[in-house]
Structure 1
Amino acid sequence: MNPQPPPPAPSETETPPAPAAAGTDANGSLARPFKLSRRFDRTGRLLGDTAMERLANARVVVFGQGGVGSYATEGLVRSGIGHLTLVDHDDVCVTNTNRQLHATVKGVGKSKAELMAQRCREINPMARIEAVREFYREEVAEQMLQPGQYDFVVDAIDNVKAKLHLLHRCVSLGIPVVSSMGAAARLDPTAIRVEDLSETHMDPFAKDIRKLLKRKYGVETDRHTGITAVYSIEARRMPVALNYDDATDGFLCVCPQDNDFHTCDHRTQIDGSVSFVTSCFGMNAAGVVIRRLASTR
């Protein structure tokens, strides 16, 4: 992993979130009462001070900073989550521009995790943001996800093997998790649904995840799993060949880096996708996290 250094200390004009526990702080001094920043005024008027204090003290990790994960991160930081860890091994590719929040002309070739971390710090300089340039997999799972480390996990991974292991680890450790199913190959954001994984239907990807979790890890996916899934009931649309594919005998990957884990060339098919669907997947995932953490720890 390659964690980034913590952001600068809060300015004197800001009041940092106090520890949730009343009484004294870690140094034995009287704890300062929580004071909501005006930047979260409108969220606070929906949820109240007590819920906003929970969010400010919550620790959330988002695995994947692509078309779904970048928007999930945006929804979380703009809702007042005080501690965010952003995990992604990739650099921005020009083909990310149509759907990923950090993908701009200046962003191409730069780390997705670090770009989103920088963006989060500009939205809420009081938050503690960590960028981790890593690909989640079994070999690094214990290092990246430990018991009690996070209050919630957002799974926006599109690699099936990695997703399966992450979901199994969350279930095994009892960590609340919301997982994005197939956001690509869809055009209708109104067809998005949020259910326990066992209740998903009309989504072939979700069906495969249920089957493989049960077969490989023994997770009973025909009853309540505790895995909240964001999925779509819209039928998948097959990708359309484009004119420039003819010049390369098919799809040509133009990603700025090669890796041994997950590349365009490793995929059997490159689906189309649009921002107004992938973003809604991400924002739905963020909504699950905020509603749960605001109501109870």
Structure 2
Amino acid sequence: MASELHNEMTRCARILGSEGVAALASSCVMVLGLGGVGSSCVEALARGGVGKFILVDHDVVDITNINRQAIAFHSTIGRKKIDVMRQMVLDINPQAQVEVVDSFVLAENLDALLDEHAVKADFVVDAIDTISTKLAIAAAAQERDINLISAMGGGNKLHPEYLRVADIYDTVNCRMCRIMRKECRKRGISHLRVLYSCEEAAAATARPGTERGERSGLGTMPYFPPIMGQMIAGYVIRSIAGVESREDVLARRK
């Protein structure tokens, strides 16, 4: 089976080298949330040779997920996302180790979740939507020295060419990032690596009868969350394999 895995990774090895491929095979990545961003991220990580996964989600596949989630098909509607994702990973790499956690990621249960599982992970991907929980994850990651990358909002965005990996304090034109910057300062979070879009998105509209602040008016293009997930996977793969990213080069030149 080792030779089969080598054949599957041949094209990656041409770029990453044998040491990079070996580092990925022995690595563990924890992904919080298996929606449009998280599911595509996990798929790309599996195809990139990551050997161990910790996948956290409590949701089931819904028909509205079909336009953007890698695990969403009519045949998977109603199934637990963690189960569908685990099956996909093992279909890509039968040698992978996949641990699933059937749980919502909440500020209230985050410490226990990270204490039990994140200690085994080389990288943690935050692919959830709730800002309060994202802030709790960022604070906990800083306290525990966890390698973290966090996905910002992709709602009402059209142009993936505006996606960037940056520190939260270097972000522009993103409502979620603006809130996160303010709250990170309040909490003493000095650094947070994020994927965000600097595109100026159209304002969200609310359905009649809903609260003004409700994000019910946010639309999502089918290609946008998957591209975000792929880009995060690329950043994680380059980091684990020891390949310098363009973002790191640019940051060093500042």
TM-score range, shorter chain: 0.7 to 0.9
d(CA) in 1 for partners of 2:203, 2:66:
21
Match of 1:219 in 2: 189
Gaps of 5+ in 1: 1-13, 17-34, 252-265
Q: Which structure carries more helix by proportion?
A: 2
Gaps of 5+ in 2: 244-254
CA displacement at 1:233 relative to structure 2: 1.1
**Per-residue deviation, residues 53-106 of structure 1 (Å, max 9, x unmatched):** 110111110101001111111111110000011111111111111001111111
Moved over 6 A (4+): none
Report percent identity of matched pairs.
34
Match of 1:154 in 2: 125
d(CA) in 2 for partners of 1:120, 1:267:
34
Match of 2:166 in 1: 195
Match of 1:15 in 2: 2
d(CA) in 1 for partners of 2:230, 2:11:
17
d(CA) in 2 for partners of 1:186, 1:174:
32
State which of 4, 10, 25 in structure 2 corresponds to 1:41. Answer: 10
| Structure showing greater Rg | 1
Does residue 233 of structure 1 match 2:198? yes
Question: Cα gap change, 1:94/1:182 in structure 2, threshold over 3 Å: closer, same or farther?
Answer: same
Question: Which residues of 2 match residues 25-104 of structure 1 at below 5 A?
Answer: 37-104=6-73
**Conservation of the 8 A alpha-carbon contact between 1:186 and 1:277:** yes
CA RMSD of aligned residues (A): 2.1
d(CA) in 2 for partners of 1:238, 1:138:
28
3-state secondary structure, aligned to 1:153? strand
Normalized against structure 2, the TM-score is what?
A: 0.88
Question: Which residues of 2 match residues 118-197 of structure 1 at below 5 A?
Answer: 118-146=87-115, 148-197=119-168
**Per-residue deviation, residues 163-199 of structure 1 (Å, max 9, x unmatched):** 1111111111111111111111101111111111121
CA displacement at 1:121 relative to structure 2: 0.5
d(CA) in 2 for partners of 1:80, 1:49:
12
Does residue 112 of structure 1 match 2:112? no
**Per-residue deviation, residues 237-293 of structure 1 (Å, max 9, x unmatched):** 24578xxx7xxx668xxxxxxxxxxxxxx9443410012111111111111100110
Question: Cα gap change, 1:187/1:73 in structure 2, threshold over 3 Å: closer, same or farther?
Answer: same
Which residue identity lines up with residue 195 of structure 2 in the other structure? V
